[in-house]
Amino acid sequence: MAMNPEKRKALWKDIRQLLLMATIILTGRSVLADWYVVPTGSMKPTILEGDRVFVWKSAYQVRVPFTKVRLFTTGTPERGDVVVVRNPDGGSVPFVKRLIGLPGDVVELKDEYLFVNGKAMKLDLLSPVEAEDGERVLLGTETLISRTHPVRILPDRPALRTFGPITVPEGEVFLMGDNRDESRDGRFFGTRPVKDLLGRAVGVMWSWNPEFTKGPRWNRIARPFVQKSTPETPTS
């Protein structure tokens, strides 16, 4: 049966409104804020596999919607930021890492201890614990100049524990994972252009256990990445 003109007009009005709403939502996700599903454990214990992290895509720059074209900058990356970066290997899945080095910084790793501009970053580790598979795990915190964040070290696993020193070029940053011995990061793919930062991750908005039948991780829902800030020690 043919639709009368009034119903057809009402239908097209609803369709236009839905399309407008979808455009606004997708544009907002492209430019302002979005969420990402984290598939790997390179940022443990800060981020676990299956976490959905909330990302301010406009934290550092604003782009033309659905493109890589940058319109203008909105902020400056800081050491300690958890950032989403364009996949350095050319894949479609972006990486989530911690920003360790800013332009001009000299970054070096000596047997798990991080040095920035020749200064050792404070590393406090707890006693080893045993994972479910029997592997030894060291959990602790690292103070990156003035911001403290969690780290995870696997002392019995072959890993790149000594690296550099390298100088971060102008317009680029150096990134590492908090799960130091199980992370593909700047030690392997080098520094990344600031323009490749897709945003700053601010917390976990939702989390589902990788073993699907175990369901959601309720204790990780709406969980911000809280970092302890400490005053910088003046140098003479």
> Is 42 one of the annotated active-site residues of the chain?
yes
At a CB cut-off of 8 Å and minimum separation 6, what does 55 contact? 33, 34, 35, 36, 84, 198, 199, 200, 201, 202
42, 44, 57, 207: the active-site residue = 42
146 is catalytic: no
DSSP letters along 64-123, please? -TTSS-EEEE-----TT-EEEE--TTS-SSPEEEEEEE-TT-EEEEETTEEEETTEEPEE
Which of these, 31, 51, 6, 5, lies nearest to 207 by C-alpha position? 51
Of residues 44, 57, 97, 207, which has the active-site annotation? Answer: 97
Which residues are known to be catalytic? Answer: 42, 97
